[in-house]
Structure 1
Amino acid sequence: LDPRTGAPRLVAGESRRQELASFVRARREGLSPAAAGLGRMARRRVKGLRREEVAEAAGISVAWYTWIEQARDVNLSEQTVESLCVALRLDPQEREHLFQLAGHPAPALRAGYDEHVMTSVRALLGSLEPNPSYVLDTQWNLLAWNQGAVRVLGDFAAVPQERRNYVRMVFTDPAFRALFVNWEEMARCCMAHFRRDSVGHVEDPKWLALVDDLVRDSAEFRAWWLQHEVAWPHHWQKELRHPELGRLLYDTFDLELFRPARLRIVTYTPRVVVAPQKSLPIV
């Protein structure tokens, strides 16, 4: 028994299941039939939706859904959690919360998933001009960038979306790789932190496909990936060899956003310009 409450003490994992059950039940009871797309209905005895209605909308059995609300020890797949999010009309914060309660990583922000967030992020990137700045998700996909990044690092919009990944560009894009004077040190640091950040995605087919492509296409990635580095010293300084601007030295810093989706804003701040051929334009 819990000495504070006198209630039975929860075993490991049970408190998470209890919290998940309470959260799902509260959202079901707070969702009106009209909001769930069921239209106007006769007066009902139950508050919100019935369990049968949520189960049908999520494509699972009533018994399975009932076990979820009873905090039974059931294994919820990511697909089932996603179906529950849709059935219960969860907003981005609630969706992330349910995934975490189910023991899965919060899904990365997808293009168009929450456009008002990306609008604010793009405005922040604009305020950082002329410093090169860009936004990464948890799998290091490039989601947005400013004009400073275009001038110094290249036009990411010209890269096909399916290949617009920072790690992929570091290891397989010759022009991007050639920008970095100390490429090996930067690339090893990049890989170590990518591996650490991606730990929650090791069963994600897109993540697995990305790693497979990198192992196939880059000899360095193939060799270093086997070393399982996750604590490589962070390389804050980037020295670039720009074809028009000459040698550029930057300090970098990261700003992490956790709500409503995990994003990382990376900014390059000029430190010293070594033998520049022309100055970086200020806008």
Structure 2
Amino acid sequence: MGTTAQRRRPELAAFLRARRARVTPADVGMPPGLRRRTPGLRREEVAQLSGVGVTWYTWLEQGRPINASAQVLDAVARTLRLDPPEREHLYRLAEVAFEPAPQRLTRQVGPEVQGIIDALDPLLAVVYNSRYDILAANPAYLDLFIVPRTRRLGVPNALWSLLTVPEERCPVVHRDAELPVMVATLRSSYGRHVGEAAWEDYIRALSEASPRFAELWASGAVTPPGPRVKTFRHPAVGELRMTSQSLSIDGMPECRIVVYTPEDEDARTKVALLRERRQRLWPPADEEAAGIVHRRKTEDPAPLTGDGILITDL
């Protein structure tokens, strides 16, 4: 079968040839020339436009075991007009460490994603971005949690709220065990955004608002998102043990749907009681007006409202 590198080289050669064939001289401001038999650009033209030697580029396209720097691959990628996924593919095949371009922090979801989490009711479902901003939630989630906008951020933020709410009002029963995990998960995302203003401002502001966060952040712990069993409390039904599971979302980098499933029969009964309570207090015709289905108008500064636990921001 050969080594991984040996299997990648033929794929790299085929990929570069195919990308070169689709770029015409006109695309890069060159005259078409006469008696052109090569579809797209010639190898020497790619080398010239990329600022590399013809022999070196020929060897690269032939999949020979040569070293390529990120700067040279970027030049080739620009010449071949590679989009971000293609650029990443080129780096992987050439076995060069890939640094993705900074992604803008996702702040909203489309109707398709909202429809998916709504359809999961009676399971609790919420959409987080990588810093725990709440982008959308379904009615079942809002039966248990109500998180208003965090004034410093302009959006609801689960981590900020949990760190700044008084302990007696915190819906997480084992806060001292759960908060370190959430902060470590945040740090695993932060590693991709070090130096970005939105992230640095967020870390600085949260450190000022919560000495506990500053302490946990200073520990340097890192962990990826993963399933966990958590215990929550609700003033109407008491404690509920729930299992959280994260699902990635195509087209929304660093966002995930988190679904909370009752861990036992007692929790299932209490989730059903909360659902009945919602339907009794807010009949279906009034749900949208009451704000407990979801809030798509993100410009509305009012907090999410419903029958869950109000987690205030400080």
Task: Name the TM tier (shorter chain).
Answer: 0.5 to 0.7
Distance 1:249 1:216, change over 3 A: same
SS of the aligned residue for 1:256 comes to: strand
Please state if 1:62 is matched with 2:55.
no
| 1:281 alignment partner in structure 2 | 278
Task: Answer whether contact 2:230 2:244 (CA < 8 A) is retained.
Answer: no
| 2:287 alignment partner in structure 1 | none
Residues of 2 paired with 1:150 and 1:160: CA distance?
Answer: 22
Please state if 1:255 is matched with 2:241.
no
User: After the TM superposition, which residues 85-234 of structure 1 pair with which residues of structure 2 at under 5 Å, given as runs?
Assistant: 87-89=81-83, 94=86, 97=89, 102-104=96-98, 120-154=112-146, 163-172=155-164, 178-202=170-194, 204-230=196-222
Residue number among 27, 31, 34 corresponding to 2:22 in the alignment: 31
Aligned partner letter, 1:254: Q
> Any gaps of 5 or more consecutive residues in structure 1?
none
Task: Answer whether contact 1:138 1:262 (CA < 8 A) is retained.
Answer: yes
SS of the aligned residue for 1:230 comes to: coil
Please state if 1:239 is matched with 2:232.
yes
Distance 1:147 1:278, change over 3 A: closer
Distance 1:183 1:94, change over 3 A: same
Please provide the CA RMSD for this pair: 5.3
* Deviation at residue 226 of structure 1 after TM alignment: 1.9
Output the TM-score relative to the length of structure 2: 0.56
Distance 1:160 1:35, change over 3 A: farther
Percent of residue pairs identical: 21
Distance 1:63 1:21, change over 3 A: farther
Aligned partner letter, 1:63: G
Task: Answer whether contact 2:185 2:222 (CA < 8 A) is retained.
Answer: yes
Residues of 1 paired with 2:53 and 2:234: CA distance?
Answer: 58
Distance 1:157 1:215, change over 3 A: closer
Distance 1:65 1:130, change over 3 A: farther
Deviation by residue 1:25-48 (Cα, 9 ceiling, x = unmatched): 24632534499697x967755433
Please state if 1:74 is matched with 2:69.
yes
Task: Answer whether contact 1:239 1:249 (CA < 8 A) is retained.
Answer: yes
Aligned partner letter, 2:205: D
Task: Answer whether contact 1:28 1:50 (CA < 8 A) is retained.
Answer: no
Task: Answer whether contact 2:124 2:138 (CA < 8 A) is retained.
Answer: yes
Distance 1:207 1:157, change over 3 A: closer
Distance 1:112 1:136, change over 3 A: closer
Output the TM-score relative to the length of structure 1: 0.61
Distance 1:210 1:158, change over 3 A: closer
Residues of 1 paired with 2:166 and 2:47: CA distance?
Answer: 51
* Deviation at residue 188 of structure 1 after TM alignment: 1.7
Task: Answer whether contact 1:99 1:105 (CA < 8 A) is retained.
Answer: no
SS of the aligned residue for 2:219 comes to: coil
* Deviation at residue 133 of structure 1 after TM alignment: 1.0
Aligned length: 260
| 1:265 alignment partner in structure 2 | 257
